[in-house]
Amino acid sequence: MQPATADDTPGIVRVVRISPIGAKDALTADALAALSYWAEVVRIMRILSGIQPSGKLHLGNYLGAIRQHIELQNHHECLFFIANLHSLTTVNDPQRLADLTRDVALDYLALGLDPGKALLFRQSDVPEVTELTWILATVTGKGLLDRAHSYKDKVAHGITPTMGLYCYPLLMAADILIYRSNLVPVGRDQVQHIEMTQDIAGYFNNTYHCDALVRPEPKLNDAAVVPGLDGQKMSKSYGNTIDLFDDPKSARKRIMAIKTDSTPVEDPKDPDKCNVFAILRLLAANDETREWARRYRAGGMGYGQVKTRLSELFDQTMASARERRQTLAADPDYIEDVLSTAGRRARALAQSVMHDVRRACGLTVSAQSPQ
> Which of 16, 225, 321, 329 touches ligand TYM by CB under 6 A?
225
50 belongs to the binding site for ligand TYM (CB under 6 A): yes
Q: Where in 53-112 is the site for ligand TYM (CB under 6 A)?
A: 60-61, 64-65, 83, 86
Identify which range of 202-210, 221-229, 262-270, 322-330 contacts ligand TYM by CB under 6 A: 221-229
196 belongs to the binding site for ligand TYM (CB under 6 A): no
Catalytic annotation on 233?
yes
Pair 56, 245: CB distance under 8 Å: yes
176 belongs to the binding site for ligand TYM (CB under 6 A): yes
Catalytic annotation on 219?
no
> Which of 153, 189, 195, 312 touches ligand TYM by CB under 6 A?
189
> Which of 45, 46, 49, 128 touches ligand TYM by CB under 6 A?
49
Question: Which C-beta is closer to ligand TYM: that of 279 or that of 301?
Answer: 279
349 belongs to the binding site for ligand TYM (CB under 6 A): no
> Which of 79, 82, 226, 318 touches ligand TYM by CB under 6 A?
226
Size of site (CB under 6 A) for ligand TYM: 25
The type of residue at 209 is H
Q: Which residues contact 200 (CB under 8 A, 6 or more apart)?
A: 136, 139, 140, 144, 170, 173, 177
218 belongs to the binding site for ligand TYM (CB under 6 A): no
User: Rounded to whole angstroms, how far apart are CA atoms 31 and 42?
Assistant: 15
> Which of 122, 233, 269, 281 touches ligand TYM by CB under 6 A?
233
Catalytic annotation on 307?
no
Tell me, what DSSP letter sits at residue 140? S
User: Rounded to whole angstroms, how far apart are CA atoms 313 and 317?
Assistant: 6
CA distances from 191 to 18, 90, 150, 172, 215 (A): 27, 21, 10, 11, 14
Identify which range of 171-179, 282-290, 342-350, 355-363 contacts ligand TYM by CB under 6 A: 171-179
Catalytic residue among 154, 219, 269, 307: 154
Catalytic residue among 219, 236, 269, 307: 236
50 CB burial (10 A radius; 0-12, 13-18, 19+)? buried
Region at 180 (left for phi over 0; alpha for psi -120 to 50; beta for the rest): left
Question: Which C-beta is closer to ligand TYM: that of 66 or that of 301?
Answer: 66
Identify which range of 37-45, 71-79, 185-193, 206-214 contacts ligand TYM by CB under 6 A: 185-193
CA distances from 253 to 83, 247, 250, 273 (A): 30, 10, 5, 22
Nearest to 358 by CA among 215, 368, 47, 85: 368
Question: Which C-beta is closer to ligand TYM: that of 80 or that of 303?
Answer: 80
> Which of 47, 52, 342, 346 touches ligand TYM by CB under 6 A?
52
Identify which range of 38-46, 230-238, 326-334, 337-345 contacts ligand TYM by CB under 6 A: 230-238
Three-state DSSP at 118 gives strand
Pair 238, 259: CB distance under 8 Å: no
User: Rounded to whole angstroms, how far apart are CA atoms 205 and 352?
Assistant: 17
Compute the least distance from the CB of residue 83 to ligand TYM, in Å. Answer: 4
* E strand or H helix that includes residue 359: helix 332-361
* E strand or H helix that includes residue 282: helix 275-283
User: Rounded to whole angstroms, how far apart are CA atoms 276 and 190?
Assistant: 24
Identify which range of 130-138, 153-161, 168-176, 253-261 contacts ligand TYM by CB under 6 A: 168-176
Question: Which C-beta is closer to ligand TYM: that of 58 or that of 358?
Answer: 58
Nearest to 354 by CA among 342, 340, 339, 366: 366
Note the residue count of the chain.
371
Contact residues toward ligand TYM (CB under 6 A) are: 49-52, 60-61, 64-65, 83, 86, 172, 175-176, 184, 186-187, 189-190, 223-226, 233-235
What residues act catalytically?
A: 154, 233, 236
